[in-house]
């Protein structure tokens, strides 16, 4: 699903019309991690198709594919993290600004919640255990702010900057730290 030729029209038809999504989009469910490999494969096929449609100049289908991902794997069952940024970027390229704002807002809210949780921890072992996830979330903050600027909507950009708050500040590089 990651390499080789792709029949975009067949892939589009399969995803949009033939794949069965269960109740992911209907009910709040517990999705066991044992299904993650299959779900990751589906996500990669959808992302690859969206990017290939974009490269072929078919922004409409690229946006439809990205939105199908968000509909099939809703936030209520699949919390947003840095892994959805490529789908949001497809929406940016397709100039689907309302969709961009909707999904970026959800990502920003969840990112803020996680970062606040990490900041509230005092036990060094807990802090250490979450360090990698915290770093990924901090990287996501920069993605959120870059996406917000691309919308061309100053009010939305300010809303995202305010939501990210102190997490949007890049640490200063101090040459003394490299001794």
Among candidates 72, 66, 88, 95, which has minimal Cα distance to 160? 88
pLDDT given at position 141: 97
CA distance 119 to 17: 44
pTM score over 0.75:
yes
pLDDT given at position 34: 73
pLDDT given at position 40: 85
Average pLDDT along the chain = 90
> Which residues lie below 8 Å from residue 75, measured CB to CB, with a gap of 6+?
106, 110
163: left (phi over 0), alpha (psi -120 to 50) or beta: alpha
CA distance 72 to 82: 18
**pLDDT-flagged residues of the chain (< 50):** 173-174, 176-179
- Dump strand ranges (E) for 42-151: none
pLDDT given at position 3: 65
Provide the 8-state DSSP code for 64. Answer: H
């Amino acid at each position: 699903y990651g390499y080789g030729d792709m029949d975009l029209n067949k892939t589009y038809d399969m995803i949009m019309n033939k794949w069965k999504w269960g109740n992911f989009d209907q009910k709040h469910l517990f999705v066991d991690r044992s299904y993650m490999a299959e779900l990751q494969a589906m996500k990669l096929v959808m992302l690859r198709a969206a990017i290939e449609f974009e490269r072929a100049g078919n922004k409409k289908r690229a946006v439809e594919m990205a939105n199908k991902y968000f509909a099939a794997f809703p936030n209520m069952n699949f919390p947003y993290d840095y892994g959805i940024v490529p789908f949001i970027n497809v929406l940016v390229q397709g100039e689907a600004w309302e969709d961009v704002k909707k999904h970026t807002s959800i990502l920003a809210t969840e990112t803020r919640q996680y970062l606040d949780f990490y900041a509230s921890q005092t036990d060094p072992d807990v802090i250490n255990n979450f360090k990698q996830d915290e770093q990924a979330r901090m990287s996501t903050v920069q993605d959120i702010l870059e996406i917000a600027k691309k919308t061309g909507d100053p009010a939305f950009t300010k809303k995202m900057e305010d939501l990210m708050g102190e997490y949007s500040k890049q640490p200063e590089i101090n040459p003394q730290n490299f001794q």
